[in-house]
Homo-oligomer: A and B are copies of this chain.
Amino acid sequence: MIDELVKKIQEKDAPVVIGLDPMLSYIPEHIVDEAVREKGETLEAAAEAVWQFNKAIVDATCDLVPAVKPQIAMYEQFGVPGMAVFARTVEYCGEKGLTVIGDIKRGDIGSTSAAYAAGHIGTVKVGGRVLRGFREDFVTVNPYLGTDGVKPFADVCAQEGKGIFVLVKTSNPSSGEFQDRLIDGKPLYEHVAEKVNEWGEGCVGACGYSAVGAVVGATYPQQGRVLRALMPKAYILVPGYGAQGGKGKDLIHFFNKDGLGAIVNSSRGIIAAYKQEQYAKFGAGHFAEAARQAALDMIEDIRNARK
């Protein structure tokens, strides 16, 4: 899967992932109204609005980018109907040829992490049949529980040809509270990075990168430079571009000299582009075209920064 992702990034010359994090406030009123007219003021209506919104965004951008990253919390908040639309979105994006990174940030004791891994990137067995709960290609994983919380995911990656991105240095303002604290003279995130190398040893693809990657926020470019060097074989998923403050020029150090090694996420900045002054001319009726233009601009920004 890491080989496939790298191939798509090269073919499209776009190390960019669109974050499908559809808060209701991002969705144009006419879509929400239509869903409510059809299904009442229900969780089902919210889920339907999310689905219609996602579908339009994906249709308008799937030729431009290699991957999407649905943030499961934005679906989970609407309960079971929300989870059904998460599953539907993952499957639809797969059919459109996109690599799907489930931003689930799971992580638990061994047997429980194994269940999460089975459900999202692996298989479960019911009677004699092998089934899939959800169908992401990659998921994000929280490392706080250490090796036995992460290894079950890495094992499934090796078996199923899937991948993970382990949280190393997150993009949020308070990420330093624990992650930056010094342990034996090095910040915690560097210790986690060393483990990422270890966890990923057994699943390096033909492209030279491992199926075990890392999450490092665009909002911390200096740490990105250090972590890039520290994890030469880890693909870095970089959130925090755009709305969270990261810019193209902040990103150059997240890439290796081969021009690979990083994939940059933007969520709000693309999917809710029509709400920004720069793209307001599209209007809510053309939100998907606005998203397409924002994706094109982001791809261009990153291409220019890397020149």
**Interface positions of A (Cβ within 8 A of B):** 21, 23-24, 32, 36, 41-43, 45-46, 71, 73-74, 76-80, 82-84, 87, 105-113, 115-116, 118-120, 124-129, 131-134, 142-149, 167, 170-179, 181-184, 188, 191-192, 195, 239
Contacts and interface: CB of A to CB of B under 8 A. Distances in A.
A134 B79 contact: yes
A124 B87 CA distance: 20
Contact of A112 (B71, B110, B113, B195): B71
A126 B181 contact: no
Given A115-B23, A133-B82, A188-B188, A108 B177 contact: no
A62 to B, nearest CB: 23
B191 A108 contact: no
A115 B103 CA distance: 13
21 contacts: A24-B126, A36-B127, A41-B127, A43-B124, A46-B124, A73-B106, A73-B112, A73-B115, A76-B119, A77-B119, A80-B80, A80-B83, A82-B133, A109-B170, A142-B142, A142-B144, A145-B172, A145-B174, A146-B176, A181-B188, A181-B191
